[in-house]
Amino acid sequence: MIVQIHTDPNIESSEALTRQVEAVVASAVERFASRISRVQVHLGDENSASKGGAYDKRCMMEARLDGRPPIAVTQQAATLDAAMDGAAAKLERSIDSMLGRLRDR
């Protein structure tokens, strides 16, 4: 599974951030890892650092499962960590739901 990380100009990309994002994604989708080819993570600061504001950090995750359309989720929060955790939880639930529906057929 490949994890691609994209940041907007208001988020400073670093090795530590990359490791953190990869760990959050891996823990959220580890039981589905054999079916996922790629996860794209887009991190952004909606209001930029100069303006601030509540719930201005955004994390969008898109998982590509083999033979299925991509699944995308978005979470906005006050901090980047909270946005990543929320998006990862949403992604896990979405994948579980989609695969559950496939099993039920």
pTM (predicted TM-score): 0.89
Range of the domain at 65: 2-104
pLDDT > 90: what percent of the chain?
73
How far is the C-alpha of 70 from the C-alpha of 62, rounded, in Å? 6
Q: What pLDDT tens digit does each residue of the chain (105 aa) get?
A: 999 999 999 898 999 999 999 999 999 999 999 999 999 999 999 876 566 567 789 999 999 998 889 999 999 999 999 999 999 999 999 999 998 887 776
CATH classification of the domain holding 12: 3.30.160.100
Going from the C-alpha of 50 to that of each of 45, 46, 76, 96, the distances in angstroms are 10, 11, 18, 38
Domain count, the chain: 1
How far is the C-alpha of 88 from the C-alpha of 77, rounded, in Å? 13
How far is the C-alpha of 45 from the C-alpha of 34, rounded, in Å? 32
Q: What is the pLDDT of residues 68-92, one digit of tens each?
A: 899 999 999 999 999 999 999 999 9
